[in-house]
Structure 1
Amino acid sequence: MRAGYALDGGVGCIADVRHHAVAFLDQARADHGLPVPARARDLTQLVVSELVTNALKYAPGPVLMELRITAHAVDVVVWDSDPVVPAARPADPDRLGQHGLEIVKAVTLDLFIEREPVGKRITARIALSGTFSSDTVRR
């Protein structure tokens, strides 16, 4: 199951995509019987917020988001027109802000960043079941 969204960057855009993410997960549970624990819902909303916020903040053009779900994971895919590949900064408790990618890396199973002919595509994979520890994150 998958769903795509074009984002305009207007007021309330982040809240809207978080709402779309929850509705998508609810539909996956209702229509396909997929187990979607509260932890996966919460992490999906967090990842959507962080990736879309970064794309809207740094990309000069449109932003697209796609959600995909399987029996094992949710993929949050965000495409933007900025070709610069982001990098997580080293942890710094004194730094204010700019922790988005650091947070996403800490709560996902996999994070893929791919350059596209125009811009880049970031895919974050969130586990639907099992225990999670940032010590077991694969990169």
Structure 2
Amino acid sequence: MYHHVRVPVEDCDLLRFLWWPGEDTALEPAEYQMVMHPLGVKSSGNCVNHALRHTAEEHGHKYCNEASEAIMKNFYADNLLKAHDDEEHLKMMMVDMTSLCADGGWCLNQWTSSNRGLLSVISESE
């Protein structure tokens, strides 16, 4: 998820790191800059959540309101936590949330649920 959000060009210099070719520290290190947000940097979670919320704001009008609302309010880090009593309603939301996120370049996957019927709408690869 973090590697889906680009670092603005003017900020890439702040995410600089050194790499020793062949892990030989006797050599001069090569210097690199991150162009995508890395996992583990304090600001990355906030930047990724901002980009995900922007996706919901930009594309949410095409889907049910609850899909964009869930994306806006039910993500913690890179996990979506959502519950509902109606299985058919949740199936519709899963399809809408997946499509909404795809519109913004995101791929929702690694679904889990105690309800086998709910998981039937998700391909095994996801």
* TM superposition score normalised by structure 1: 0.32
More strand by share: 1
Higher relative contact order (CA closer than 8 Å, sequence separation 6+): 1
Larger Rg: 2
More helix by share: 2
